[in-house]
Amino acid sequence: MEDKTTGIEKLGEFGLIQHLTKDFQYSNPTTLKGIGDDAAVIDKSENEALLVSTDTLIEGIHFSLMYTPLKHLGYKAVAVNVSDICAMNGKATQITVSLAVSSKFPVEALEELYEGIKAACDTYQVDLIGGDTTSSISGLVLTITVIGHAQKDEITYRNGAKEYDLLVVTGDLGGAYMGLQVLEREKEVFKSNPSIQPDLDGHDYIIQRQLKPEARADVNKILKDLEVQPTAMIDISDGLASEIIHLCTQSKVGCHIYDEKIPIDAKTSLTALDFNLDPSTCALNGGEDYELLFTINQSDFDKINTNPNFTIIGHITHEKDGIYYIDKQGSALELKAQGWRHF
Binding site for ligand ADP (CB under 6 A): 17, 21, 35-38, 55, 84, 237
| Separation CA 259–CA 331 (nearest Å) | 10
Nearer to ligand ADP, 160 or 279 (CB): 160
Residue closer to ligand ADP by CB (options 21, 151) is: 21
Check residue 235 for interaction with Mg ion (CB under 5 A). yes
Tell me if residue 43 falls in helix, strand or coil. strand
Q: Which CB atom, from 176 or from 182, has the smaller least distance to ligand ADP?
A: 176
C-alpha span between 214 and 216 (Å, rounded): 6
Q: Among residues 58 and 109, whose Cβ is nearest to ligand ADP?
A: 58
Q: How far is the CB of 41 from ligand ADP (least distance, A)?
A: 10
- What sign does the dihedral 16-28-39-159 (CA atoms) show? positive
Measured CA to CA, the distance from residue 252 to residue 208 in angstroms comes to 36
Are 109 and 74 spatial neighbours (Cβ–Cβ below 8 Å)? no
**288 interface partner picked from ligand ADP, Mg ion, none, CB below 5 to 8 A per type:** none
Smallest gap from Cβ 304 to Mg ion, in A, equals: 21
Contact range with Mg ion by CB under 5 A, out of 33-41, 127-135, 166-174, 194-202: 33-41
- Least distance between ligand ADP and beta carbon 66 (Å): 25
Which of ligand ADP, Mg ion, none does residue 59 bind (CB under 5 to 8 Å by kind)?
A: none
Tell me how far, at minimum, the Cβ of 236 lies from Mg ion, in Å. Answer: 8
**Phi and psi, residue 132, nearest 5°:** -160, 145
Q: Which is nearer to ligand ADP, 55 or 321 (CB)?
A: 55
From the CB of 234, what's the least distance to Mg ion, in Å?
6
Strand, coil or helix: 71: helix
According to CB under 5 A, which residues from 35 to 54 bind Mg ion? 38
Residues forming beta bridges with residue 143, ordered by sequence position: 56, 98
Q: Which does 102 bind (CB under 5 to 8 A by kind): ligand ADP, Mg ion, none?
A: none
214 versus 235: smaller Cβ distance to Mg ion: 235
Closest separation in Å from C-beta 220 to ligand ADP: 17
84 belongs to the binding site for Mg ion (CB under 5 A): yes
Q: How far is the CB of 200 from ligand ADP (least distance, A)?
A: 29
Question: SS in 3 state form for 86-113?
Answer: HCCCCEEEEEEEEEEECCCCCHHHHHHH
Q: Of the two residues 38 and 291, which places its CB atom closer to ligand ADP in the complex?
A: 38
E-state strands within 10-126: 31-33, 40-43, 48-58, 91-101
Least separation, in Å, of the C-beta of 210 and ligand ADP?
18
| C-beta atoms surrounding 26 within 10 Å | 11
Residues in the interface with Mg ion (CB under 5 A) total 3
Angle between helices 107-124 and 70-86 (to 10 degrees): 30
Alpha helices in 133-231 (DSSP H): 175-192, 204-211, 219-225
Closest CB to ligand ADP among residues 33, 203: 33
The pattern of x and - marking residues 192 through 231 that bind Mg ion according to CB under 5 A reads ----------------------------------------
Nearest 10 degrees: Cα torsion 276, 170, 63, 272? 10
Strand order in the sheet with 166-170: 232-236, 291-296, 166-170, 310-317, 254-258, 323-326, 332-334
In this structure, are residues 338 and 239 in contact, taking their beta carbons and an 8 Å threshold? yes
- Which partner in ligand ADP, Mg ion, none is near 138 (CB below 5 to 8 A by kind)? none
Interface ranges with Mg ion (CB under 5 A): 38, 84, 235
